[in-house]
Amino acid sequence: MKILEGKTAIITGATRGIGKGIALLFAQHGANVAFTYSSSVEAATQLENDLQQLGVKAKGYQSDAADFEQAQKFVDDVLEYFGNIDVLINNAGITKDNLLMRMGEEDFDKVIEVNLKSVFNMTKAVQRTMLKNRKGSIINMSSVVGVKGNAGQANYAASKAGVIGFSKSVALELGSRNIRCNVIAPGFIETEMTAKLGEEVIKGWTDAIPLKRGGTPEDVANACVFLASDMSAYITGQVINVDGGMLT
- The model's pLDDT over 125-178, given as tens digits with 9 standing for 90+, comes to 999 999 999 999 999 999 999 999 999 999 999 999 999 999 999 999 999 999
Instruction: Please indicate, yes or no, if residue 1 is contained in any of the structural domains.
Output: no
**Any idea what the CATH number is for the domain that residue 72 is in?**
3.40.50.720
Report the alpha-carbon distance of residue 13 to residue 56 in Å, rounded.
19
Instruction: Please indicate, yes or no, if residue 246 is contained in any of the structural domains.
Output: no
| Binding-site residues from annotation | 13-16, 91, 156-160, 189
Which of the four pLDDT bands, split at 50, 70 and 90, describes residue 199?
confident
Q: Which domain holds residue 195?
A: 8-241
Instruction: Please indicate, yes or no, if residue 18 is contained in any of the structural domains.
Output: yes
Model pLDDT, residue 202: 83
Instruction: Please indicate, yes or no, if residue 142 is contained in any of the structural domains.
Output: yes
Enter the pTM of the model: 0.96
Instruction: Please indicate, yes or no, if residue 3 is contained in any of the structural domains.
Output: no
C-alpha dihedral (189, 50, 14, 209), degrees to nearest 10: -10
- Percent of the chain topping pLDDT 90: 91
| Binding-site residues from annotation for NADP(+) | 13-16, 91, 156-160, 189
Q: Is the pLDDT of residue 102 over 90?
A: yes
Q: Is the pLDDT of residue 196 over 90?
A: no
**Mean pLDDT, residues 95-114:** 96
Domain count, the chain: 1
| Tens digit of each residue's pLDDT (9 = 90 or more) over 208-219 | 999 999 999 999
Instruction: Please indicate, yes or no, if residue 248 is contained in any of the structural domains.
Output: no
Instruction: Please indicate, yes or no, if residue 103 is contained in any of the structural domains.
Output: yes
Instruction: Please indicate, yes or no, if residue 247 is contained in any of the structural domains.
Output: no
Model pLDDT, residue 161: 98
Catalytic residues: 156
Which of the four pLDDT bands, split at 50, 70 and 90, describes residue 81?
very high
Model pLDDT, residue 109: 97
